[in-house]
Structure 1
């Protein structure tokens, strides 16, 4: 029985706990964006306005590179994380198989974002040999399991074109052993990609020291404008473009550069880098208070993924993922929304269609019946009052959602 859509009460204050979907613009990013947007100039034009736009783009490129310990020439601007993932996966596979038709192997995990999993599945239809590595029950992929999948392909006579492992999961917030995988595979000459969209803000990342060849980033996850992202691409990695045009961005991503958005990206990432240590500690305290408070409601809530109180080493500092047996996920979300809590069940990049999460399935939990999920993610606009409001809403909404599920099941 579908849950009717109930419009939120407009008189009730809203609590935004969906920073993993998008984070409110930081003041520095908004100021940089609006200042640049007031100017005219295509960064590819040769006149004065065009040269000024190009200078702003290149200054921003240098600042973004510095924030992630990369060379400016390794910064390729895209429309966001999804496009960056697609360029990395499809582009590497095309280049590698063109050079060596036997290099058809692709290894990734079962908990990747759909922006990775779906391009990989398309490659499978084109002849790729794909190995999907499941995480442990903690939601962390074992580096040894990734190297074993690579060895399995090689023993079958298949060269491995690409390994892709996300830096941090977008639903359960678990941080993956990307550097360990890169170290283990360094001598094999395999291209390694990491979707670091969720990690770019809260995690200190050195592209140079990570060992990966390609890394996807998106600014709206860290307080910058929507519609702009980056693919960090080592200069020695062969990539085929997926869009043909004017040859912009090392020939990898043709199209007019959105100068104002790029300026906003640079301002946001500098602000995040400056405040990261203090902000991470603050968010860990809020995260732990929310998780501990939810468990203290005695409603049978399960924490999805690894969680070490007081630590941001195995889980993103602002990620709270609660598994709630006995209720439908859409029912719980609608009830929370009506109560003024803006959260989600998982990725916001699935066209707004609710349903069972592939990440939840990958955890291997033995749960019968309907299972609700609340992903409550904190960010720079979150505070203790938001935690208190969320706990009050959970205490009220979970019993209602379970009652609705029981009615729908005819029990």
Structure 2
């Protein structure tokens, strides 16, 4: 059976060129970068070279890059780090209900444990945030942080971060953006975005898992969450994973170098997939703002009759049995029995949310796979509607 992977928004395979750059630091160059001897200094230099590369590629200074274990840690460090640094002065936070769980649960932790107030801004049924509502909810002198993602991980929607950054600057408020889905896929420059903190993760652009970074603009208050060493300029204790940092830098370099070619390929895949899907399953609905979104992510709902309710994992497993790997949303919550919190926030009914899937393309996919994937979805839905799915 041909197996088709259309879940690159969850993770991507490690590029062989990235693996090649990492290998020396997994094998022969094993020194601790904190050691002053030559073994340590060799890996220290590699670590700082990786930091300089990441910084240059996103328009930052090397001193503004903190290596982390991934997007979830970067989000936690940004949100809790700013909140703890401003504790006693500002105890109000602003975000959106469409954020990744790493953001939402960090905000909820601060509310429950430390008494922070959290306001969530409105949005329309396509997931476009209400900027007027954002302006109203910012409290100058009280709001410690605004956290709005650059690109939604389930819908692909792009948010107007430069405009939000202007609101933040005008009110003296720190702005964090989760750019885990956008970095490596579209041009991302921290100077142009204007955010004070930005999260990214290597495994979303063919880098290794377990490594990410947090951009922290110079002068931004940030309390470390990990203690026990002066690593990462006293902002994240713990011996650094040099091989993974090298891998992150190389993966990002390649992703940006090949970005134009990749975008053209993704658009062709998307067009082929939607054309075939429209023929085999005309009653589908695209969720989100298709006109202002990352091209590689599609969130699709399918209409089923009232007597054909099912859990989203049944649909996903049926597709997987036919050789197609897609997801129901964020990989961090796909195993949960509840439907996507993002789709529910958009106003989707639970049944509709449960039969929604996220299709996400990568450079590894072919036109033949794109066409075949749409046909598999159509076949599974036909069997489901005929009550022949067991």
CA distance in 2, matches of 1:93, 1:333: 38
CA distance in 2, matches of 1:334, 1:185: 44
CA distance in 2, matches of 1:357, 1:370: 6
> What's the CA shift string for 1:110-145, capped at 9, x where partnerless?
110000000101111121111112322222213332
Aligned partner (choices 99, 116, 126) of residue 112 of structure 1:
99
CA distance in 1, matches of 2:351, 2:73: 37
Aligned residue pairs total 383
Q: TM-score, normalised by structure 2?
A: 0.94
Instruction: Report the CA distance between 1:40 and its aligned residue.
Output: 1.6
Instruction: Report the CA distance between 1:284 and its aligned residue.
Output: 1.7
Q: TM-score, normalised by structure 1?
A: 0.89
Give the aligned partner of residue 4 of structure 1.
Answer: none
Aligned partner (choices 284, 290, 310) of residue 267 of structure 2:
284
Which residues of structure 2 form unaligned runs of 5+?
none
Aligned partner (choices 301, 317, 324) of residue 302 of structure 2:
324
Give the aligned partner of residue 87 of structure 2.
Answer: 97
> What's the CA shift string for 1:150-179, capped at 9, x where partnerless?
1xx45xxx7000000000011111111111
Aligned partner (choices 122, 131, 148) of residue 109 of structure 2:
122
Q: Kindly indicate whether residue 176 of structure 2 is the aligned counterpart of residue 193 of structure 1.
A: yes
Give the aligned partner of residue 236 of structure 2.
Answer: 253
Q: Is the 8 A contact 2:150 2:177 kept in 1?
A: yes
Name the stretch that deviates more: 191-200 or 347-356. Answer: 347-356
CA distance in 1, matches of 2:7, 2:47: 30
Q: Is the 8 A contact 1:335 1:401 kept in 2?
A: no
Give the aligned partner of residue 384 of structure 2.
Answer: 401
Q: CA RMSD in A?
A: 1.9
Q: Is the 8 A contact 2:344 2:353 kept in 1?
A: no
Give the aligned partner of residue 60 of structure 1.
Answer: 50
CA distance in 2, matches of 1:370, 1:78: 33
Give the aligned partner of residue 35 of structure 1.
Answer: 24
Change (3 A) 1:403 1:371: farther
Q: Is the 8 A contact 2:277 2:375 kept in 1?
A: no
CA distance in 1, matches of 2:250, 2:370: 28
Q: Is the 8 A contact 2:229 2:237 kept in 1?
A: yes
Change (3 A) 1:43 1:401: farther
